[in-house]
Homo-oligomer: A and B are copies of this chain.
Amino acid sequence: MSRSPTPRRRATLASLAAELKVSRTTVSNAYNRPDQLSAELRERVLSTAKRLGYPGPDPVARSLRTRRAGAVGLVITEPLNYSFSDPAALDFVAGLAESCEAVGQGLLLVAVGPNRSVAEGSAAVLAAGVDGFVVYSASDDDPYLPAVMERHLPVVVVDQPRDVPGASQVRIDDRAAMRSLAEHVIDLGHREIGLLTMRLGRDWPHGPGPALADPERVRAPNFHVQCERIHGVYDAMTAAGLDPASLTLVESYEHLPTSGGAGADIALEANPRITALMCTADVLALSAMDHLRAKGIYVPGQMTVTGFDGVPEARQRGLTTVAQPGVEKGRRAGELLHNPPRSGLPVVEVLDTEVIRGRTSGPPA
């Protein structure tokens, strides 16, 4: 087996120093403090480094010494392949990656997820070489949160959960945003409303597919965001003199391409008089639209449909929805980690949203 002229043993800063007959400090300075030695000596160091195949100070050893890892850890409990197919989550990751790149920090996707046990995932959190964590949209009893907290590193929580001690937060006002949207729907004249939402708890007491949600589950939700959005609808209904209890609430374990359509069926079966179908995510709404259309139900003529997020496809297809700044969320989360507030105290950043009145909402038939 022919090998390149690499010494059998990896070159180190010490071996380089020995070769050059200078001290390790000098070599270190050549890399980290160019102003601490003559240009020519530095040149000599760098060139013999190249000759010996020395790639510069070992990142791990340096991190140990400087106590900085140069990376941010991202904890997303939802399956990654799912996150990567959810445009809203994607925007967030893109924004976070962008802000990390801007300051030369790496972004470490921590190996937590459904393919591994909670113990393994927690171990991955404890073993992550990072300077801080971003936790994205976790449930309030997320199994990895304890491990994240144990690390005693800076933490920024995005969307959920609320009330992580010591953690800064980036989110939107889900309740107010959803209320505005619901007001728009009610103003159009709708009285019988269905609401499709993601699962309200970590547990799933139903069979496969979406199911009517027990109002009980709204009261003790694991996902704060879902809950707030539901309450936003309640708020609008109450303000308009409608009975919130009349809302037909359907929860879906996850956002599959079929979830919206299946959820729509369940809602309409439970209450055939529904004229507006609100959804807590665009992907749900788009799926529902496709399904309704296939069944010959015209949107918005026979059914108003609304979403949440403002993903590109939704805008393109004219969905009435709430746009939230996904990329900006990621960016702000990163910045909060890179430039923590002077006070040292956690901050809460509430980003703006905007109701988009599209072509999928109109007066009831």
Contact = CB atoms under 8 A, between A and B. Distances in A.
Interface of A: 1, 6, 10, 53, 55-56, 58-64, 69-71, 73, 80-81, 84-85, 90-91, 93-95, 97-98, 100-113, 115-116, 120, 123-124, 126-129, 147, 150-152, 327, 344
Nearest to A327: B81
B81 A344 contact: no
Contact of A104 (B6, B80, B120): B120
Contacts of A98: 80-81, 115
Contacts of A128: 59, 70, 106
Given A104-B124, A109-B109, A129 B81 contact: no
Contacts of A55: 126, 147, 150-152
A70 to B, nearest CB: 6
A116 B73 CA distance: 21
Nearest to A344: B1
A119 B152 CA distance: 33
13 contacts: A58-B64, A59-B128, A60-B63, A63-B129, A70-B128, A81-B94, A101-B113, A101-B115, A104-B111, A104-B120, A104-B124, A106-B110, A108-B108
A128 B93 CA distance: 19
A107 B60 CA distance: 16
A71 B84 CA distance: 19
